[in-house]
């Protein structure tokens, strides 16, 4: 029986692709709401690194940009009314 290729973590999953490298994004801007919405859940929460596949530095940049955009009323604090 042939062995399947395993990811670096030793499990059968392939590692997540970095969306910034894939799309050629170098700078995160709080005014780019289309990009920032990709990293926000339907409930309005910032998605984790584990889900997005970003590096630590990129995740911090995204979080800061989302918070700035929310403060400037470009993004909502929550998407669903309670």
pLDDT tens, 12-36?
A: 777 788 888 888 888 899 999 999 9
User: At 71, is the pLDDT very low, low, confident or very high (cuts 50, 70, 90)?
Assistant: very high
Query: Which phi and psi angles does 40 have, rounded to 5°?
Result: -120, 135
- Of 65, 56, 59, 76, give the one whose Cα is nearest residue 36: 65
Mean pLDDT taken over the chain = 86
Share of the chain above pLDDT 70, in %: 82
Q: Which pLDDT does position 62 carry in this prediction? A: 96
φ, ψ at 32 (rounded to 5°): -85, 80
The proportion of the chain whose per-residue pLDDT surpasses 90, expressed as a percent, equals: 60
């Amino acid at each position: 029986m042939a062995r399947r290729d395993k990811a670096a973590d030793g499990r059968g999953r392939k590692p997540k692709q970095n969306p910034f490298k894939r799309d050629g994004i170098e700078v995160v801007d709080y005014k780019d709401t289309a990009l920032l919405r990709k990293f926000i859940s339907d409930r309005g929460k910032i998605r984790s690194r584990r889900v997005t596949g970003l590096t630590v530095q990129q995740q911090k940049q995204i979080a800061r940009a989302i918070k700035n955009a929310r403060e400037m009323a470009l993004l909502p604090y929550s998407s669903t009314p309670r």
